Amino acid sequence: MTRLLPLALVQSPAESLTDFAAGLERRVNAHAVADLFVYPELHLNTPDSPATQDRQAYMEASAEPLDGPRGRTLAELAGDLGIWLLPGSVLERGTDGHIYNTAVVYSPQGKAVASYRKIFPWKPYETVCSGKDFVVFDMTGYGRVGLSICYDAWFPEHSRHLAWMGAELVLNVVQTPTNDRVQEVVIGQANAIVNQNFVASVNAAGPHGVGRSLLVDPEGRVRISATGPEDATLVDVIDLDQVRNVRQHGTAGVTRPWDQFAENDDTIPLPLYAGQLDPRLWRQTNSPSTLTNLSTAPA
Query: Which whole number is the average pLDDT over 192-208?
Result: 98
What is the rounded CA–CA span in Å between residue 31 and residue 175? 23
In this structure, of 106-120, 188-202, 285-299, the range with the lowest mean pLDDT score is 285-299
In this prediction, residue 293 carries a pLDDT of: 36
Please state the pTM of the whole predicted model.
Answer: 0.92
- Does residue 286 register a pLDDT over 50? no
In this structure, of 72-76, 235-239, 264-268, the range with the lowest mean pLDDT score is 264-268
255 DSSP 8-state letter: B
- Does residue 279 register a pLDDT over 90? no
Query: Which whole number is the average pLDDT over 152-173?
Result: 97
Mean model confidence pLDDT for the chain: 93
Query: Which whole number is the average pLDDT over 239-247?
Result: 97
- Does residue 291 register a pLDDT over 50? no
Query: Which whole number is the average pLDDT over 286-292?
Result: 44
Contacts of 14 (CB under 8 A, 6+ apart): 40, 42, 43, 44, 45, 46, 175, 204, 208
In this prediction, residue 276 carries a pLDDT of: 85
Q: Which domains does the chain have, with CATH numbers?
A: 4-298 (3.60.110.10)
CB 124: neighbour CB atoms within 10 A? 7
- Does residue 288 register a pLDDT over 70? no
> Residues 211, 229: contact at Cβ < 8 Å?
yes
In this prediction, residue 223 carries a pLDDT of: 98
In this prediction, residue 137 carries a pLDDT of: 98
In this prediction, residue 48 carries a pLDDT of: 82
Q: How confident is the model at residue 292 (pLDDT cuts 50, 70, 90)?
A: very low
Using DSSP's 3-state secondary structure scheme, residue 199 falls into: strand
Query: Which whole number is the average pLDDT over 156-184?
Result: 97
CB 186: neighbour CB atoms within 10 A? 10
What is the rounded CA–CA span in Å between residue 149 and residue 34? 22
Through-space distance between the first and last CA atoms of the chain, rounded to whole angstroms: 22
- Residues 41-96: tens digit of each pLDDT: 999 999 887 777 788 899 999 999 999 999 999 999 999 999 999 999 999 999 99
Q: Please spell the DSSP secondary structure of 269-290, one letter per residue.
A: EEGGGTEEE-HHHHGGGS-GGG
- Residues 12-49: tens digit of each pLDDT: 999 999 999 999 999 999 999 999 999 999 999 998 87
